[in-house]
A and B are shown apart, each in its own frame.
Chain A
C-alpha cells in the first residue's frame, strides 16, 4: 500500500507556464517535506510544512499543507528550465514515543522545455 500518492507522475510543459503537483494520502502526517532531485544527484530539501493549512512560498514555488494534514500541493509560477527535476514529497508519521518515520512518494518528474 502506497501511503503517499503523487500526481501527475510525469509533466512536460513549456517555459513560462504554471503548474501544480499533488501529494495525497489517507493518513495524517505530523509534517510533510518536499524535495527536488536533479539527474545524477541526491534529493535536496525545498521546504517542510507542519501546520494544517500552512502555505509557504519559496520564490516562484508555493507549497500548501492540507487542513487535515493528509495532502499537500506544490505550485510553480512561470516555470523555468532550471525547475526541471524529480519532485518528491515525504510524510513524517509517529512510530511510537518520540520517533517518526519518513515515507516517500514516488515523485513527479517535471520537464520544462525552453
Chain B
C-alpha cells in the first residue's frame, strides 16, 4: 500500500518557469490538500479538494493552481515560479473533510528551490 506519493522529490526552477507537482493516493480518500512548510511558519494550506471536480482555496493560494479530475490525483501547478515559492510542499489526504477526527496522511514532500 503506497499511501500518498509525491513527485518529484527535489526540483530547482528559475524565476518565471512553470511546473507541476504531482500527488497521487491509493486509499480512495475523498479529501486531498496541498501544504507548504517554511521555517518558522509551520504548515500552511494552499488548496484543497473535497472530491473529484471540486477544489477550493486555502490560506495561501496565490501563484498556485489545482485541479481534481480523478479521486486519486491532485496536481499542484506553479504558473510562473517566484523565489518566494521556495519551500517544501506536502500533499495530504484523508477519507473525509467533514469528520472532525479524520487524520491526514502526508506524502514525503517535494523540496522546491526557485532561483
Q: Do A and B truly interact?
A: yes
Interface residue from B35, B104, B105, B109 paired with A41 (Cβ < 8 Å): B109
- Taking a contact as CB atoms under 8 Å apart, the answer to whether A50 and B98 are in contact is no
| Chain B residues near A (Cβ < 8 Å) | 4, 35, 40-45, 90, 92, 97-109
Cβ contacts under 8 Å, B109 to chain A:
40-42
CA distance A41 to B103 in the complex (A): 17
Distance between A47 CB and nearest chain B CB, rounded to angstroms: 9
Known: A41-B109, A42-B107. A88 touches B43 (CB 8 A): yes
Interface string of A72-101 (1 = CB under 8 A from B): 000000000000000010101010011110
Contacts A105-B42, A107-B42 given; does A100 touch B99 at CB 8 Å: yes
User: A106 to B42, Cβ gap below 8 A?
Assistant: yes
Q: Which of B90, B92, B98 contacts A100 (CB under 8 A)?
A: B98
Given contacts A35-B104, A43-B90, 6 further A-B contacts (CB under 8 A): A45-B105, A50-B100, A99-B97, A100-B97, A100-B98, A104-B42
B108 touches A50 (CB 8 A): no
Interface of A, helix, strand, loop or mixed by DSSP: strand
13 sampled A-B residue pairs with Cβ under 8 A:
A31-B101, A33-B103, A40-B108, A42-B92, A42-B108, A43-B104, A50-B100, A88-B42, A94-B100, A97-B98, A99-B97, A104-B42, A106-B41
Chain A contacts of B107 at CB under 8 A? 42
4 smallest A-B Cβ distances: which pairs? Answer: A42-B106, A106-B42, A30-B100, A45-B103
A48 touching B108 in the complex, CB below 8 Å, given contacts A104-B43, A105-B42, A106-B42: no
Q: How far is the CB of B20 from chain A (nearest CB, A)?
A: 19
Determine the chain B residues whose CB is within 8 A of the CB of A50 once the complex forms.
100-101
Other-chain contact of A45, B40, B98, B100, B104 (Cβ < 8 Å)? B104
Query: How far apart are the CA atoms of A92 and B98 in the complex, in Å?
Result: 10
Contacts of A107 in B (CB 8 A): 42
